[in-house]
Amino acid sequence: MPLTGLEIYKLLPQTNCKECGFPTCLAFAMKLAAKQAELKACPYVSEESKAKLEAASAPPIRLVTLTGEGTQIEVGNETVLFRHEKTFFHRPGLFLRLRDTDAADELKRKAAEADAYHVDYVGINLGLDGFAVEAASGDPAKYAAAVAAVRSVSKKPLILIAGAPELAKAGLQSAAGTRPLLCSADVSNWESMAAVAKEAKVPLAVRAESLDSLAELTQQIAKAGVEDLVLDPAVGGYLSSLERLTAIRRLALKSAFRPLGYPTITFPGSGDGASETLLAAEHIAKYAGLIVLDTFDPAGLYPLLVLRQNIYTDPQKPIQVVPGLYEINAPDAKAPLLVTTNFSITYFAVSNEVEGSGWPAWLVVTDAEGMSVLTAWAAGKFDAERIAKAVKISGIKDKIGHQRVIIPGAVAVLSGELEEELQGWQIMVGPREAVDIAAYLKAMWAN
């Protein structure tokens, strides 16, 4: 748990020598607590205090990194229970489970399809983070071949689900050159699994049904020399997931309980009859670090990827685009001109629609402080004056041979005022929803 300024002060020399650049040790301690200064600025702090301060400043939930070939994912290092308290930092990894009981061709096909999957959401390219390859056959040679098959079509990070040391070693051999998560150690095999993980220098997942035994195991394994751990609390359905993952997060953050200060892994496909998609959604909102899906279905994956993006958006910074003039489909002097706001979701709703329609068009994006059309309008950030100003400074006048501008249907009320502000321009009221823009242009935009 982070120390308070006063607690830090007690560990400092308390001589007020000012060499750190602050008038007193206390002032320096306060800055340290606020993370606005670094300990090394004080040359006189004792080794003992240094160790204590460093231990206290280690993140309450360890950051664990998995790497593939030129790809990586970091999970953990979260600091809050509720996103509004600050933000959630490391989006949980979404992995697809594959089993070595599939024929090599089938495995490759499944992995290649899922590897290629990507979807655009407000200009961000989203996809799966990697594959969890399971040694379901129990045969090390088969397992090694399966991991190699997956690697032959994907460079993404891997999770090796191999519950016995020979299997783990076989998988690790095929995964050489990457840093997969080894999954998992439990009360029966932890010593041998820890030895394998330690030797290969890879993170290890630890599985137990109760949090008590989980905490005991992680302490033993940490002592055995494996530092990067991931907790598998063997969650079942919606309620047991919520209870266990919340308990782990609280113990880590509120009680600074190190044995459970690691990211978690969940398998929503084995959730006691729960819908895999809805259970994965719960895991995204409530505290999973890695989520292993059993099914690859774009219709379920797309909403999960978007949810993850939304929940992990920094509440202090709405996602916005740069205001200005945007060209869509190589517009010419006759192409229509539309205006919108610089809230990412709004901008992409409009630009995707226009782009998809094939219409060449000009789009003036006004600086509405990252707000949607109606929100900005209600907040006075998308009014006639601002729109007129944006149109004028965009330089669009020299690029088009007409003076017609289409405004969002939601702010039809602005058209009168806008006519005043943009003398000589014809203000056209577009449809309310971006989906209807193509039909609207077809009906209303006469060249």
Question: Which positions touch ligand SF4 (CB under 6 A)?
Answer: 12-13, 15-20, 22, 25, 28, 42, 44
Contacts of 151 (CB under 8 A, 6+ apart): 69, 158, 174, 175, 178
| Contact flag: residue 254 with another protein (CB under 8 A) | yes
Amino acid making up residue 225: G
**Residue 356 interacting with another protein (CB under 8 A):** yes
Residues 6+ apart with CB under 8 A from 74: 63, 64, 65, 90
CA dihedral angle for residue 156, residue 280, residue 78, residue 192, rounded to 10 degrees: -60
Q: Identify the CA nearest to 2 among candidates 256, 248, 262.
A: 256
- In 332-403, at which residue ranges do the beta strands (DSSP E only) sit? 337-341, 361-366
The least CB distance from residue 390 to another protein, in Å, is 23
DSSP designation for 207: E
Q: Which does 437 bind (CB under 5 to 8 A by kind): ligand B12, another protein, ligand SF4, none?
A: ligand B12
Binders of another protein among residues 102 to 131 (CB under 8 A) are 117-121
Beta pairing, strands 290-293 & 265-266: parallel
Contact in structure between 108 and 147 (CB atoms under 8 Å): no
The nearer residue to ligand B12, 225 or 315, going by C-beta atoms, is 315
Pick the closer one to ligand SF4 by CB: 13 or 395.
Answer: 13
Closest to ligand B12 by CB, 271 or 331:
331
Considering only residues 175, 215, 376, 388, which one is a binding residue for another protein as defined by CB under 8 A?
215
d(CA 144, CA 52): 44
Count of residues engaged in binding another protein, rule: CB under 8 A: 57
For residues 372 and 343, give the distance between their C-alpha atoms in angstroms, rounded to a whole number.
5
408 binds, among another protein, ligand B12, ligand SF4, none (CB under 5 to 8 A by kind): ligand B12
- The helix (H) or strand (E) run that includes residue 106 is helix 104-116
Q: Which is nearer to ligand B12, 2 or 409 (CB)?
A: 409
Helix axis angle, 238-254 to 211-223, nearest 10°: 50
380 binds another protein (CB under 8 A): no
- Token pair recorded at residue 277: 């998609």
From the list ligand SF4, ligand B12, another protein, none, pick the one residue 25 interacts with, judged by a Cβ distance below 5 to 8 Å according to partner type: ligand SF4
In the complex with ligand B12, the residue whose CB is nearer, 71 or 375, is 375
Contacts of residue 303, defined as CB under 8 A and 6 or more positions apart, other chains included, come to: 277, 281
Q: How far is the CB of 389 from another protein (least distance, A)?
A: 26
Residues of this chain that interact with ligand B12 (CB under 6 A) are 318, 338, 340, 343, 345-346, 349-350, 370-375, 378-379, 406-410, 430-431, 433-434, 437
Query: Given the rule CB under 8 A, which residues bind another protein?
Result: 82-84, 117-121, 211-212, 215, 237-239, 242-243, 246-247, 250-251, 254-255, 257, 272-275, 277-278, 281-282, 285-286, 297-304, 306-307, 310-311, 313, 315, 345, 349, 353, 356, 372, 375, 378, 433-435
